[in-house]
Structure 1
Amino acid sequence: MPAGPDPRRPTLRRLLGALALALPLAAAPQARACDIALMLAVDVSGSVDSYEYALQLQGIANALRDEDVRAALLQGQVALGVMQWSGAMEQTVSVPFTRLTEPAEVAQLAARIGTLPRAHSGGNTAVGEAIAVAVEQFGQVRDCAHWVIDISGDGDENEGYTLGTERRTAYARGITINGLAIEAAGTGQPITNFYRRNVVTPGGFVITAHQHSDFARAMRQKMLRELIPPMALAPAPRDTQLASLSGFLHLHPR
């Protein structure tokens, strides 16, 4: 009597079934990795009135609606967040990191940011504490290749006085800090100089807005510089930055 089929041997039907399952997986495009996680930290301290607050939020929203910025956000699969900061213990993450993969998502985020309620008012300016809270958010975006904090503001630190420590901590964790300094009319560039000397990390940069009315233009310029190579100054990989940290600490002992 002839022997029956070996149950351990794969049948043609099984092989064809496995192939049918595998083909869609093989044909599916690979998801692009997140290039940049960008946290926008907006000054809402007492020096910013309600009109100037609205200019800042609309400036961010309009930057996101810009064709070149939108294309760069989608190309880099950027994760974007927004926080508001003022004095000590006055920091609020208004928009947690949001992945941007489709034009509709960028449009929705722009509309959301443009109507964000103000989280704080009348406070002092604790730049260091703003950086500390921003740093904590990057645990959500560990897969993003570059981590960037943007601090925008119109004054220097007058509360908390942790800026030196928090800047060094951010740099040690592989986070680049850039600045958008908002200058008052006819005052020169004292805020720009403060940001250059005390806020940005090595490899970071400062863009100057000439009053709050210039915020939208400065925000667009800054985001394009961050997002579009070769304009972007990409930070060093996180596993190599510690090698240069000792020199940074020596030059910036605060």
Structure 2
Amino acid sequence: MRWYVSIGAVLVAGMLAGGDVAGVAAPSVAAQSGHRFADKESNPSVDVELIIAVDVSYSMDMDELAVQREGYAQAIMSKEFLQALKAGPNGRISITYFEWAASKDQKLIIPWRVIDGPETADAVAAEIMKTPVRRASRTSISGAIYYAIPMFDENPHRGLRRVIDISGDGPNNDGMPIRPARDAALEKGIVINGLPIMVKEPSYSTMDIENLDYYYEDCVIGGPGSFVVSIKDREKFKEAIRTKLLLEVAGRTPEHHVVPVADKEPRVNCLIGEKIWQDRWGR
């Protein structure tokens, strides 16, 4: 079942219990490269393998891009995030972070890293913040998903769950259609969650759409417990990012004011981005 929640609807306090962080060292690449990939499937060593896929298309203004970057960095270092980390059976997660725009434009910012406490969380946050903010053309959510899928096979740490966290402020308008990409991930047991950014009025010039949250619910997210956290207030941008990461790390679905999304025809045409692009540019 898929779920939708707006930020502020999640009460984090009480959801996250304590527990000790498992101080399990990452395996040596040189010494264990021969057997670690064979072992990881039968011996999960992290609670979740989390891919953060961040939209850097031109429809995002520079302020939004900076706040988005800061939001992820601050969320990873937050006390609430570290409490969620401790609550897991392994007390550690594996995370990677990349930026995307067009179907062939994905830039890896953070390769797979294990976060198991404050020091590793701070190190990942610092890596996110030191990379210069960039912008690029087109919006290919499908390209981001296809890029993310094989990344799980490259991760030496097997998780109890595999999650792609996608943020964006517009519909797919480049590359393959979105639904086949989503289905390809779901077939591999990957969950996709969404963070639709809706802080500006829809504009023809940036090819925005109304009800982007519906588009994400019906066309983008999928898998057991998948959900959307929409951002409709610029002032709550960072709060929304933190809420989403907490839910993903804790392996929870929203608990308050939740509306289940039934399997039915999409409320928004899943090809609307491609249609807008063709209407505007004739290709």
TM-score range, shorter chain: 0.7 to 0.9
Larger-Rg structure: 1
Cα distance in 2, alignment partners of residues 128 and 207 from structure 1: 19
- Please, what TM-score do these two structures have when normalized by structure 1? 0.74
The gaps in structure 2 that reach 5 residues or longer are 1-21, 25-43, 203-208, 256-262, 272-283
Taking the TM superposition and a 5 Å limit, the aligned residue runs for 1:80-159 are 80-118=95-133, 120-141=134-155, 143-159=158-174
- Please, what TM-score do these two structures have when normalized by structure 2? 0.67
Cα distance in 2, alignment partners of residues 51 and 215 from structure 1: 11
Aligned counterpart, 2:61: 49
Do the aligned residues in 2 keep the contact of 1:37 with 1:148 (CA within 8 Å)? yes
Do the aligned residues in 2 keep the contact of 1:57 with 1:115 (CA within 8 Å)? no
Deviation of the 1:212 alpha carbon = 4.5
Cα distance in 1, alignment partners of residues 23 and 244 from structure 2: 30
Q: 1:223 aligns with which of 235, 239, 245?
A: 245
Task: Map Cα deviations across residues 34-71 of structure 1 (whole Å, 9 max, x no partner).
Answer: 11010110000010122211110000011112101023
Query: Which structure features the higher share of helix residues?
Result: 1
Do the aligned residues in 1 keep the contact of 2:49 with 2:158 (CA within 8 Å)? no
Cα distance in 2, alignment partners of residues 64 and 96 from structure 1: 15
Structure showing greater relative contact order (alpha-carbon pairs closer than 8 Å, 6 or more residues apart) = 2
Deviation of the 1:228 alpha carbon = 1.9
The gaps in structure 1 that reach 5 residues or longer are 1-28, 234-247
Deviation of the 1:92 alpha carbon = 1.3
Deviation of the 1:33 alpha carbon = 2.1
Q: Does residue 1:69 correspond to 2:90, yes or no?
A: no
Deviation of the 1:129 alpha carbon = 0.4
Moved more, 184-193 or 174-183: 184-193
Cα distance in 1, alignment partners of residues 185 and 67 from structure 2: 28
Residue identity in the other structure for 2:213: T
Do the aligned residues in 2 keep the contact of 1:40 with 1:151 (CA within 8 Å)? yes
Residue identity in the other structure for 1:37: E
Deviation of the 1:190 alpha carbon = 1.3
Q: How many residues align?
A: 210
Aligned counterpart, 2:236: 214
SS at match of 1:169: helix
Residue identity in the other structure for 2:151: Q
What is the aligned-residue RMSD (CA, Å)?
2.7
Do the aligned residues in 2 keep the contact of 1:56 with 1:212 (CA within 8 Å)? no
